[in-house]
């Protein structure tokens, strides 16, 4: 795991407090990321909650203070009501989690679901205890995911191609035409894999492109068209619709961390 404090803003438990440790690294499962978050001395009553988790098209399997949870794909910012003290997680690439976790993405959209509800309490408890007892919980969780993935159906190559095109900024209709699939059929297949239709995924990925540029210091007026928005006002509307935040508020939150 990479050393030092690392905060990408994509931790499904919420971004780290000042002083907390958040680390991530590529997983051995293609496209996935392994991450962990641990408390720091700066977390106190003045800042009792975690920062919002913004939609990113992903799903996660999370260990949180001894419990295993599935974080579904978000269509709005998520703030935990009762944040855990320690987290470890595996974040799947868009469309890759449903087969491994055995649940359609649309069934857990905008939800944090106990793994016991999906795999049964005995299995979930045994796996949670195994991760809790490991010296490296994030690595133990990754091993669990790799074992599940070995027995799961292979990800749909067509949907992987859709994600690649949407990440590149292609319109949904163009992506569907290039791949020889009708828009309606693509929408049906997307619900199970992504949790929502391809147009929603395209909006989320576009917002993530814009936020990456803004975080890197690109002015919002320039970042908006580069990410695929019509203009800065369009980006501001999408930011409010998908996160409830403003660009300025988001950047200020990152700087304060």
Residue-range domains of the chain with CATH:
21-151 (no CATH), 157-256 (1.10.10.60)
Report pLDDT digits (tens) over 46-96: 344 467 899 999 999 999 999 999 999 999 999 887 788 899 999 999 999
Average pLDDT over residues 15-42: 80
Pairing of strands 21-26, 33-38: antiparallel
CA-nearest of 206, 205, 214, 209 to 250 is 214
> Has residue 236 got a pLDDT over 70?
yes
Query: Which residue in the block uniquely carries the two structure tokens 């095109």?
Result: 165
Q: What is the mean pLDDT of residues 121-150?
A: 98
Residue in 193, 225, 222, 227 with CA at minimum distance from that of residue 209: 227
Q: Average per-residue pLDDT in the chain?
A: 89
Is residue 42 within 8 Å of residue 18, measured between CB atoms?
yes
Question: Is the per-residue pLDDT at 41 higher than 80?
Answer: no
Give residue 18's pLDDT.
53
Per-residue pLDDT band for 257 (boundaries 50, 70, 90) equals low
Give the C-alpha separation, 106 to 85, whole Å: 28
| Residue 225 host element (H or E) | helix 220-227
Give the pLDDT confidence score for residue 40 in this predicted structure: 58
What pLDDT was estimated at residue 80?
Answer: 81
Give the pLDDT band (50/70/90) at residue 13.
low
What confidence category does residue 208 fall into, taking pLDDT thresholds of 50, 70 and 90? very high
**31-40, 48-57, 237-246: segment of lowest average pLDDT:** 48-57
């Amino acid at each position: 795991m990479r050393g030092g404090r690392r905060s990408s803003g994509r931790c499904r438990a919420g971004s780290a407090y000042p002083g907390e440790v958040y680390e991530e690294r590529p997983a051995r499962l293609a496209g996935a990321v392994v991450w962990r978050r641990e408390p720091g001395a700066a977390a106190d009553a003045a800042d009792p909650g975690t920062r919002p988790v913004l939609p990113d098209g992903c799903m996660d399997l999370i260990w949180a203070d001894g419990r295993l949870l599935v974080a579904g794909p978000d269509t709005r910012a998520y703030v935990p009501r009762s944040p855990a003290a320690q987290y470890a997680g595996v974040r799947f690439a868009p469309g890759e989690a449903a087969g491994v976790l055995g649940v359609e993405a649309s069934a857990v959209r905008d939800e944090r679901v106990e793994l016991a509800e999906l795999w049964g309490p005995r299995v979930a408890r045994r796996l949670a205890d195994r991760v809790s007892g490991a010296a490296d919980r994030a690595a133990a969780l990754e091993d669990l995911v790799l074992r599940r993935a070995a027995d799961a159906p292979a990800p749909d190559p067509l949907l992987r191609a859709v994600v690649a095109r949407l990440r590149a900024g292609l319109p949904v209709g163009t992506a569907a035409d290039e791949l020889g699939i009708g828009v309606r059929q693509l929408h049906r297949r997307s619900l199970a894999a992504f949790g929502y239709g391809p147009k929603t995924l395209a909006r989320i990925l576009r917002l993530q492109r814009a936020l990456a540029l803004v975080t890197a210091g690109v002015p919002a007026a320039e970042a908006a068209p580069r990410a695929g928005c019509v203009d800065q006002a369009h980006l501001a509307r999408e930011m409010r619709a998908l996160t409830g935040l403003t660009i300025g508020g988001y950047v200020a939150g990152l700087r304060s961390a």
